[in-house]
Structures are given as C-alpha cells and as structure tokens.
Amino acid sequence: MKKVITYGTFDLLHKGHVRLLKRAKALGDHLTVCLSSDEFNAEKGKKAYTSYEDRKYILEAIKYVDEVIPETNWDQKIHDVQDRDIDVFVMGDDWKGKFDFLKDYCEVVYLPRTEGISTTKIKEDLGLTDTEDWKA
C-alpha cells in the first residue's frame, strides 16, 4: 500500500484545500493528513476559526482522507514519515523547497496551489481581517 502524508491547518475548508487532498490521494492508496493543533497554529502565527476537533471532523468527512493526526511542532515530520512508513510527502508549492530534507526518507512532491482562493482571502472578502479576533 502506497502511503501519502500532508500537513496543514485546513481552516474554513475550501476548494484549494480539497484539490490538494484529491491530488495527494491520487499519488497513492492511503492519505494521512497531519492537522495543525490550535497551539501549533499559534506558533505558526495563525488563528484558525474552527477548533482542531472541528477541523478534524470536517477533514474526516472528505473521501480522499484516510486518517487525521495532530501536527504539534515543526520537527515531527521525519518521525511521522518513518513511523508510518510514508512513501510520499505532499505539500502545496508555496512550500517548495522547504521540506527537501525529507527526500532522504520518502518522495517529496510540491503541487501547484489553487489560484484565487485562500482562508485569508475568505476572511478579507467577508471583512473579518480588521477585527481584533483574527490574526494573519
């Protein structure tokens, strides 16, 4: 079984996220999503609208997703890839080059981002970015 893994916050799930998940799953037989915890999001300078539990619930309903596990730090990827016998690590190409160190452990694939959509754009379009509750 060819195992694929990807990482992210996946807040306010949109077509760009789903296209990433669809293309990631197409690279193998099993897709694990390593979902950023609320605490790790704070470290990333992000404040997700939906909690980890709700983002996990939503992702588990996506037919391309086989498993959702927590991402709690920047340094867990090598362990995750080795521990779960991952064959392919996938990220959108806004991360191109940033995870090439994983090439010693698995295939590394950066997929083109979906243009014209992002969680930040959704917040901006809804006029939500100037409230004190939202961080970048």
Binding site for ligand C2G (CB under 6 A): 7-10, 16-17, 20, 36, 44, 71, 91-92, 94, 113-114, 117-118
Distance, CA of 13 to CA of 9 (rounded, Å): 9
**Smallest distance from ligand C2G to CB 72, Å:** 10
Nearer to ligand C2G, 10 or 52 (CB): 10
Query: What's the one-letter identity of residue 114?
Result: T
**How far apart are alpha carbons 43 and 87 in whole angstroms?**
28
CB of 25 within 8 A of CB of 17? no
Nearer to ligand C2G, 114 or 129 (CB): 114
Residue 130 CB, shortest distance to ligand C2G, in Å, is 21
Rounded to 5 degrees, what angle do the CA atoms 106, 108, 109 make?
Answer: 145
Tell me the residue number closest to ligand C2G, measured at CB. Answer: 92
